[in-house]
Amino acid sequence: MAMFHMFIGCYYDSNIMSYYELWTIFSNWKHEFSTSEFARAFLSPHPRKVLHDMARKGLLEHLGYGKYRVKTVEDYVRAKNDVELGYDLLRRSKLHYALTDVDAVFIWTKGGYNAGRFFGFYPIHLKVLSSDVSRWKSFFRKSGRKSLLVATKPRETMFGIFYVLHPVGKMRAEVLGGLKLDPLAETVDFCKRYLFTYEPALEMLNKEYHLGLKVSYANE
**Confidence (pLDDT) at 118:** 87
Across the strands, what pairs with 180?
Answer: 175
CATH number of 81-219: 3.30.460
Q: How many CB atoms sit inside 10 A of residue 128's CB?
A: 24
CB 202 within 8 A of CB 218: no
The residue extents of the domains of the chain are 2-75, 81-219
Question: Which of these ranges, 28-37, 68-77, 85-94, has the smallest mean pLDDT?
Answer: 68-77
Q: Answer yes or no: is pLDDT of 15 > 70.
A: no
Q: How many CB atoms sit inside 10 A of residue 105's CB?
A: 28
Mean pLDDT for all residues in the chain = 87
Q: Answer yes or no: is pLDDT of 89 > 60.
A: yes
Measured distance between the N- and C-terminal CA atoms of the chain, rounded to whole angstroms: 72
Q: Answer yes or no: is pLDDT of 218 > 60.
A: no
Measure Cα distances from 29 to 7, 42, 51, 149, 202 in Å: 11, 11, 15, 40, 54
Domains 2-75 and 81-219 alike in fold: no
Q: What is the DSSP string of 22-39?
A: HHHHHHTT-SEEEHHHHH
Q: Could you please state the CATH topology (level 3) that the domain comprising 2-75 is classified under.
A: Arc Repressor Mutant, subunit A (1.10.10)
Q: Answer yes or no: is pLDDT of 115 > 90.
A: yes
